[in-house]
Chain A
Amino acid sequence: MTPQTSFMVLAAITPEREAELRELLDSMNNAPGRVNPNNALIAFAEFSMIHVARLLVLKDNSLDDIKVYGLPRRDYPLYLAFLGNIDGERDAFYEELARRAPNGLRALFSCCEGFTSETPLVEWMKKHSRSSIAGYTNWMGRTVTRVREEANLHESIDRYLQSNAPSFASLQAQEVHTAVQSFVAGERAAGRLELSAETPTPLGWRLRNLLHKVGLPLLALLLLPILIPVGLIFAVRLRRLEKTDPELCFRIDQEYSDALARLEDHDVTNQFTAMGSLKPGTVRLWTATAVLRTVDYAARHIFNRGRLARIRTIHFARWVFLDDKKRMVFFSDYDGSFESYMDDFINKSGFGLNVVFSNGIGYPRTNWLIFDGCADELKYKEFLRRHTLPTQVWYKAYPGLTAADLERNTRIRRGLESSRLNDAEARAWVGLL
């Protein structure tokens, strides 16, 4: 398989060029929230490896929040973030990007500090790359090509069944499976359907993955004698903080929320970006780091087949520390409305939200890190909406397809690859069509 990777270029915007940059970003859309996939700056559609990509100005509205701890507000540079999830290696993608969209990239990056007409693009992007502390990929190894091929397969089978509905009416599941198999074989032979063979997984990636999979628990095991006492001290301190950390769940500004809503619900999938400062002190920083490392581990090795714990609507997600780990930004691509996304998390995975986000300033009060918190539903929703940033440009390679659609199509293909299904398997498979 070709594993997906993520990229992110982060650069400080030259203050006097911000307005110009925002205009450039807007020019990449047909309308707010609706990207032009062939826009003049970066024609996303020409890149066969991009799943999702976004460009936005990271404007943090909560910089004053730190004052509740008696600390002065700190101002950070205003960043342009360009990020996405791709098939294959990041550096190769940067090369491709620089080759296909040099002028657009230059126009965008020239609004950032330290970029001149002489600056070599690829090097600059590498230099300004930021890696994430944790990331999630809905289905490891499902490439854009595969997504498209499987979607075509589904549509093609659907049309075939529909145009032959009377003759299928009397067939049982196993017979249907056999009939569709030979139809698909015929279509492939005639060149009307493409189902590429799985590419070999790069050896380097396999080794790194294995090392991560085995190494991290091993390391934890080795450090256990230290981790246990340290953990206990931590727990006590954390517990005290938890009881005193102030909540900042203001009612959010209606106009701000409306402006976010204008960018949402154009596709079945939505983008989400949220940003805020971490609670001050090492205890919180270490907690956040440990938790996110665990999330990253679980996402890489356990939740890599369509589900993040119980959540089935996320295509990609990532957490990135910024500014010397003083701030954190979270990005995701999820199916459905923002409201249903929040409800899904609160009701299915509230403990996960709490453990990850309660290290951010102002989060609703938690209890032993996993309880309460977002169970105060409205407080949490106000908190989250206030930390949400508008994403000026957002591209998804397969509009109209949810993560569940992708999983169904994958299951359809897999079912076809089995020469014979038993009765129950055949029923389940036919139920997907």
Chain B
Amino acid sequence: MKSEVDFDDVQGIVRFGYGRLKGASYALARIKNLEAARSWLLSASVSTAIERNPPPATALQVALTVEGLRALRVPDAVIGAFSHEFVSGMTQESRSRRLGDLEANSPSNWVWGSSAKVPHLLAMFFAPPERLDSFKESSTGAVWNDAFEVNWLYTADLDGIEPFGFVDGISQPKVDWEQQRNMLEGQIDYGNVVALGEFLLGYRNEYGKYTDRPLVDADAATAELLNAEDAPEKKDIGRNGTYLVMRDLQQDVRGFWQFLNKHAHGDLAFMERLATAMVGRTRTGDPLVPIRREPISGIGPDADEVRQNRFTFESDPEGVSCPFGAHVRRANPRNTDYPGRPATLLSKVVTMLGFGPKGFRDDLISSVRYHRILRRGREYGPGLSPEDALGPAPSNEPSRGLHFICLNANILRQFEFLQNAWIANTKFAAMSGESDPLLGNRQAIWGCPVTTDFNIPKGDGVRQRVSGLEQFVTVRGGAYFFLPSLRVLRYFAQAGASNAKS
């Protein structure tokens, strides 16, 4: 049973990045007065995904951690039915190993998100920069102050450029809001349209199934909630909600450019080429492989989008144009369910049985459609051009970086898989001795003391290698949140109260 999305129930950030609203602040709040917290949550005017004309001038979004749900006294049975990752949290020891949150990245060093510093709630405020303060004031006020102890995170508008100096936020999956996609048909050609259920709970995902989420019996507390599509007798707590992953990624901009400059012996053009190879795009966002002649579903017709995104790495099997280890190639290898594009059923079966392409690099990387995320992060800290980054740091050097935010319906299969198998993995694409050139933690692994290389394949000759990469990005905080639908947010604000009484 397929139903249309009630956009008025979905928080706006799932559909829009609010890129037009260039001012943003994030409040990481811990509840100090439960009743006040409830009344703020009930009165907060949370922005929805309905398209308005003119678009709204401000936006407020709210997400909760598992600790937040507990603090609101949401019933244990409901909490326990959220995904294991959400319930156990980002800082679990075995999880840190998989995410690369070790040594300098270790949660014990985090400024927020570990042990006593786990927030209950994330409130995101978006407005034009000059209106941001007044919007925050009008949205918070006395009840807010009573309710929460707040750690404010600020963002910076760097005009679409991330702190290292590259155009950011280019590649995003297109959400199949109309639910037109046939997910069960094996994907032969790369597509950028991804099932709604990958980004919003309560709808079909890329397997054509409904991702697990809490389903409860109808009662007075849940009467207002929507029914589950796959279990109509149940109320769906997940429906129109999703998981929000947030990480504070501090970027050592001077360290990055000065390292490259040293490696390039001061040759600025060479330095730039190395940086480009590591990122996998030029600073202006152009890909390093040629644009494809044939269209890709979900990319275009906008000319910029075509120029920046209509490509796959099929045209570069040796990694000569874009190194295998380049950040964008790791973050989205753009491959499909089968290697070698088997067109007929017979050739698909042949491939499935293991008689497809047999080259060393064939069929090493998973099909990407199960591992996409919607990125919604914002930068922080003042901009610093690569040229200025080569100068010495002042004594009061501000920190710079990214408040990484992504949305996904299955943290384990989407964010964590991507971070673990593609970004942090020192063995990605059968390479050895390197991790993501930007995000890697550079830690030795058992049996491999060196993970600090970056190789640029040459095709007809020996690869060029950059050795001794330093750690350019340090994780300084993070948590898993649930971004509920508006109905469920109201339920959370009240359910605990009735729960406490009963």
Contact = CB atoms under 8 A, between A and B. Distances in A.
A169 B460 CA distance: 10
Interface in A279-322: 302-303, 307-310, 312
Nearest to A350: B352
A171 to B, nearest CB: 6
A161 interface: yes
A247 interface: no
Interface string B349-392: 00111101011100110110010000000000000000000000
A413 to B, nearest CB: 13
A433 B92 contact: no
Interface residues of B, number: 56
Interface stretch (B137-145, B273-281, B300-308, B409-417): B409-417
B94 A309 contact: no
Interface string A391-433: 0000000111110110110010000000000000001101111
A340 interface: yes
Contacts of B367: 347
A257 interface: yes
Given A303-B354, A430-B458, A432-B360, 5 more contacts: A261-B92, A268-B447, A402-B430, A431-B360, A431-B463
A248 to B, nearest CB: 16
Contacts of B337: 347
Interface string A163-175: 0010011111100
Of A176, A351, A401, A431, chain B has the most CB atoms within 10 Å of the CB of A431
Contacts of A378: 209, 211-212, 410
18 contacts: A170-B461, A173-B461, A307-B354, A335-B427, A343-B417, A347-B370, A348-B352, A348-B363, A376-B207, A377-B209, A377-B413, A378-B212, A401-B447, A404-B427, A427-B460, A428-B360, A432-B360, A433-B463
B427 A347 contact: no
A430 B370 contact: no
Contacts of B87: 254
Nearest to B449: A400
A266 interface: yes
Given A336-B421, A349-B352, A433-B462, A405 B430 contact: yes
Contact of B352 (A262, A309, A377): A309
A431 B318 contact: yes
Nearest to A378: B212
Contacts of B318: 427, 431
Contacts of A344: 366
Interface in B91-126: 92-95, 97-98
Interface in A148-185: 161-162, 165, 168-173, 176
| A-B complex: 7 closest residue pairs judged by Cβ atoms | A400-B447, A399-B447, A309-B354, A261-B94, A404-B430, A400-B448, A168-B462
A5 interface: no
A336 B364 CA distance: 12
Contacts of A348: 352, 363
A268 B363 CA distance: 19
B445 A407 contact: no
Interface of B: 81, 84, 87-88, 92-95, 97-98, 207-209, 211-212, 318, 337, 351-354, 356, 358-360, 363-364, 366-367, 370, 410, 412-413, 416-417, 420-421, 425-427, 430, 432, 445-448, 457-465, 467
Contact of B356 (A266, A310, A377): A310
A343 B365 CA distance: 11
B417 A339 contact: yes
Contact of A268 (B211, B359, B427): B427
Contacts of A258: 88, 92, 94
B462 A161 contact: yes
B467 A310 contact: no
B462 A402 contact: no
Given A173-B461, A268-B426, A400-B448, A310 B363 contact: yes
A410 B97 CA distance: 30
Interface in A116-174: 161-162, 165, 168-173
A267 to B, nearest CB: 5
A173 B207 contact: no
Contacts of B459: 173, 427, 431
Nearest to A423: B460
Contacts of A432: 360
Contacts of B461: 168-173, 176, 430
Contact of B364 (A34, A312, A399): A312
A375 B360 contact: no
Nearest to A180: B462
A400 B445 contact: yes
A38 B350 CA distance: 45
A89 interface: no
Nearest to B349: A351
Of A169, A336, A407, chain B has the most CB atoms within 10 Å of the CB of A336
B416 A312 contact: no
Nearest to A377: B207
A264 B467 CA distance: 29
A110 interface: no
A337 interface: yes
Contact of B465 (A162, A266, A267, A340): A162
Contacts of A309: 352-354
A262 B412 contact: no
Nearest to B459: A427
B139 to A, nearest CB: 36
A28 B459 CA distance: 46
Nearest to A374: B207
A265 interface: yes
Contacts of B364: 312, 404
B402 to A, nearest CB: 24
Interface in A37-69: none
Contacts of A343: 366, 370, 413, 417
A312 B447 contact: no
A433 B430 CA distance: 11
Given A347-B337, A377-B209, A336 B425 contact: yes
Interface in A342-399: 343-344, 347-349, 351, 375-378, 398-399
Contact of B209 (A254, A376, A400, A407): A376
Contacts of B354: 302-303, 307-310
Contacts of A351: 352
Contacts of B413: 339, 343, 377
Given A258-B92, A347-B370, A407-B360, A172 B460 contact: yes
A289 B87 CA distance: 40
Of B208, B209, B426, B432, chain A has the most CB atoms within 10 Å of the CB of B432
A254 B465 contact: no
Contact of A165 (B92, B356, B465): B465
A231 B363 CA distance: 34
A56 B206 CA distance: 37
A54 B413 CA distance: 28
Contact of A171 (B97, B212, B363, B462): B462
Contacts of B92: 258, 261
A351 B349 CA distance: 11
Contact of A400 (B356, B416, B420, B446): B446
Nearest to A399: B447
Contacts of A340: 366, 417, 420-421
A339 B337 CA distance: 17
Contacts of B416: 339
Nearest to B354: A309
Contacts of B93: 262
Contact of B427 (A266, A339, A405, A411): A405
Nearest to A303: B354
Nearest to B95: A261
Nearest to B351: A310
A408 B209 contact: no
Of B318, B353, B417, B464, chain A has the most CB atoms within 10 Å of the CB of B353
Nearest to A162: B465
Nearest to A335: B427
Contact of B432 (A170, A172, A254, A405): A405
